[in-house]
Structure 1
Amino acid sequence: MTVAPFPPNAPNTPYAPHASPGIAAAATDLTKVYGSGDTRVVALDRVSIGFREGEFTAIMGPSGCGKSTLMHCVAGLDTPSSGSVRIGTTELGTLGDRQLTQLRRDRIGFIFQAFNLLPTLTALENITLPSALAGRRPDRQWLDRVVSMVGLGQRLGHRPAQLSGGQQQRVAVARALVSRPAIVFGDEPTGNLDSRAGAEVLGFLRDSVRELGQTVVMVTHDPVAAGYADRVVFLSDGRLVDEMAHPTPDRVLDLMKTFDTRDTRGTRSRTTGTS
Structure 2
Amino acid sequence: MMMLACEARDLVKVYGRGDTAVRALDGVSVGFPRAEFTAIMGPSGSGKSTLMHCLAGLDRATSGAVLLGDVDLSRQSDRVLTQVRRERIGFVFQAFNLLPQLTAAQNITLPLDLSGRKPDPALFGRLVDVLGLRDRLRHRPSELSGGQQQRVALARALISRPEAVFADEPTGNLDSRTGAEVLSFLRDAVREYGQTVVMVTHDPIAASYADRVVMLADGRISGEIMRPTRESVADALNQLAGAR
5 Å-filtered alignment, 1:12-161, equals 22-161=3-142
Q: Measure, in 2, the Cα distance between the counterparts of 1:68 and 1:173.
A: 17
Contact 2:91 2:157 in 1 (8 A): yes
Partner Cα distance (2:4, 2:134) in 1:
33
Work out which of the residue numbers 167, 189, 213 in structure 2 matches 1:232.
Answer: 213
Post-superposition Cα deviations, 1:114-171, rounded to whole Å, max 9, x if no partner, equal 2222233222111111111223222334433433443433432333344343332222
In the alignment, the residues of structure 2 paired with residue 197 and residue 120 of structure 1 have an alpha-carbon distance, to the nearest angstrom, of 26
Any gaps of 5 or more consecutive residues in structure 2?
none
Report if the CA contact (8 A) 1:66-1:235 is conserved.
Answer: yes
| Residue pair 1:114, 1:192 contacting (<8 A) in 2 also | no
Q: Distance in 1 between matches of 2:191 and 2:151?
A: 17
| Bigger Rg, which one | 1
Query: SS of 1:103's equivalent?
Result: helix
For residues 148 and 239 of structure 1, what CA distance do their matches in structure 2 show?
A: 39
Corresponding residue number in structure 2 for 1:200: 181
Instruction: Give 1:179 shift.
Output: 1.0
Give the whole-Å Cα distance in 2 for the aligned partners of 1:106 and 1:24. Answer: 14
- TM-score for both structures, normalised by structure 2: 0.92
The answer to whether the 8 Å contact 2:33/2:196 transfers is: yes
Report if the CA contact (8 A) 2:204-2:234 is conserved.
yes
* Amino-acid identity (%): 64
* Alpha-carbon distance, 1:68 to partner: 0.8
Q: Give ranges in structure 1 of 5+ residues lacking alignment.
A: 1-17, 264-275
Question: Which residue matches 1:10?
Answer: none
SS of the equivalent of 1:85 reads: strand
State the Cα RMSD in Å.
1.8
- Give the superposition deviation at 1:257: 0.6
Aligned to 2:201: 220
Letter of the 1:199 counterpart: A
